[in-house]
Structure 1
């Protein structure tokens, strides 16, 4: 049973075996969560190992993923969640969620290569993008 409410982001750096073990366990959960692996430029072959095991990249042009932010007590959405989720900015059809007008550094994962590529193609100043 796939539960669309469940997802996992694994962030790793030079922890190939631990990351592969975590991915294996996450992919066998009955909820079948959507799993995203973020590698911070490891030199231990994790990117190659994951690519060999699962060569698909569902969204190769996706540059930023922002988490849903819950506040306590009660686990309610932070007020920024609605603003980010209900963005009025139209996006391309391949985008898996809303276009972000901004993002929160502590709740977002950025793919550097795509962000840099998009900045150069758009003619934007490089200092506006994470490097």
Structure 2
């Protein structure tokens, strides 16, 4: 059991999946429940008394993880979904990396999907290292990640505010990655760290997801990117999902109040990623 890392799992109405994945975790677990109504929190607390169950009473989406990080008593926090877990040895290796590299704020693992262990395309893109590796860093730089496959330095995560509640879910990682990099932290990929992910997409509303993803791309650009990038992002996202424009229009005053440009070196790395 790793004593330097807490695993934070956000969930909603996925009790059966949790019974499969919780036994695989090799560190203390904080389970943050987004207002489940399937009896999951009670069942989990009964079956896994060592798991700290936090009942939010409402669905906060990805921002539920913020509460888990605040409650963690360890210097590092690993995120997992209710359908994922970290492979044996990965958390210990991640903690060792964070111990050795004071500038490392986030380390991202390789993700293997399903029973067959298919490599997630996001992991393949990270391995290609399109923005290089900083001198002395433990692996290629990244400016995005999959939330179920990262370990964060708790102080760094909290200092930048964690996941933005307004974005809710789908694409919420991009803004956090930008803000960590802007604060001077390294975000690196290490393929020796492995996460197993067993997604079950059936039953999800793909149209609703597309609309939220389009909205979040536009809001993230409005919050941090230069005008030319904002214009391109809006045009692209609105072609894909015109309805998302109404969501952005309603959030526009909030986005303008919280707009903050990124440092030049972060913007340059984002431009390299776009080119790649």
Question: Which TM-score band applies after superposition, normalised by the shorter structure?
Answer: 0.3 to 0.5
Greater share of helix residues, 1 or 2?
Answer: 2
Q: TM-score, normalised by structure 2?
A: 0.25
Kindly name which structure, 1 or 2, has the bigger radius of gyration based on alpha carbons: 2
